[in-house]
Amino acid sequence: METTDLSTVRWIHGALDCDRSTDPPLQVVAADEDTFVIRQSKCVDFEAPFVYLLLGTETALLHDTGATADADLFPIRRTVEDLIAGRSLRIVVTHSHGHGDHWAGDAQFTDVPPGSVAPIGDAEVAAFFEIEDWPTGDSTMDLGDRPIDVIPTPGHLGDHIVLFDRTRGFLLSGDVLLPGRLTVRDWSAFRESMSRLARFARETAARGRPIRHILGGHIEMSTTGELYELGTIYQPDEAPLPLTVADLFALEAMLDEAGEGPRSIPANRFVVEPMDGA
Ligand SMILES: [Zn+2]
Ligand SMILES: [Zn+2]
């Protein structure tokens, strides 16, 4: 199978003057023939989230739908249909978490069969994935020869989940681990989530299925480790999207050392930022 090295991809990254930008509303990169990483343009929405399309033999899983509902501005549905054209797959939509920049595009999927779009909210997400003991339990969905582990990771938001694609070794980490701000609303929940995620990483490696890439929901940092200003529409020198399992273990250790009290933790590839009142 032909694969693309995601650490060297040059993503669309906005413009100083979006009126003169010729960037498309979204960029599709095929990591392999059944795995697509899609980036929304900063000229459509400054959040410029990444969304992921994973194809099994039965199901096309779209994880997150982007920051924009309007199909004319951000044609995520049409893009997905084009990418799966010629294959007989049912579409399932899931979300990393309930922040609007990760599910606004759901508006383009209102006509899919009932039960095909995951809900928002921790109790609802737990029920959708049949996770009984949220957040310490987990579950697995199968796209057809492509099992995906679903791991609850509250802390950034209460309904946050991380997906692990066993066949590729991709950990889709949403907003809990990305090259940028790791915004923490619930400090103790976040510490526990990252500790569980690190344990998952060790266990899956022990089973011979190590995490190869950690792929998050945004890039907010430059190659030299500086954070871009919040809300910027131009990031000319972006850090690579993928993080590694070493970054996850570093985060676990930093949170362990930080203890119970929320505090900012700057690191080379991300910055932990507790929200006020966390
Ligand atoms: Zn978020
Ligand atoms: Zn986000």
- pLDDT, mean of each 10-residue run, the chain (278 residues): 93 98 98 98 98 98 98 98 97 98 98 97 98 98 98 98 98 98 98 98 98 98 97 98 98 97 96 81
Cβ neighbours of residue 244 closer than 8 Å, sequence gap 6 or more: 211, 213, 214
Query: Strands 213-216, 170-174: parallel, antiparallel or unpaired by DSSP?
Result: parallel
Chain centroid to Cα 196, Å, comes to 18
Find tokens 């999927």 and name the residue: 109
Determine the Cα–Cα distance for residues 16 and 252; give it in Å rounded to an integer: 37
Tokens found for residue 12? 């669309």
Which ligand is in closest contact with the Cα of 99? 1
| 175 Cα to the center of ligand 1, angstroms | 5
**Residue-level pLDDT at 278:** 41
CA of 203 to the centre of ligand 2 (A): 28
Domains along the chain with CATH numbers? 6-274 (3.60.15.10)
pLDDT (tens digit per residue) in 210-269:
999 999 999 999 999 999 999 999 999 999 999 999 999 999 999 999 999 999 999 999
Centre of ligand 2 from the C-alpha of residue 205, in Å: 28
Model-level pTM greater than 0.95? yes
Q: Which ligand is nearest to the CA of 216?
A: 2
The secondary structure of 167-206 as a DSSP string is: TTTEEEEETTSSSSEEEESSHHHHHHHHHHHHHHHHHHHH
Q: Residue 80: CB partners within 8 Å, gap ≥ 6?
A: 53, 60, 62, 91
Q: Would you say 43 and 20 are in contact if contact means Cβ atoms under 8 Å apart? A: no
- For ligand 2, the distance from its centroid to the CA atom of residue 127, given in whole angstroms, is 23
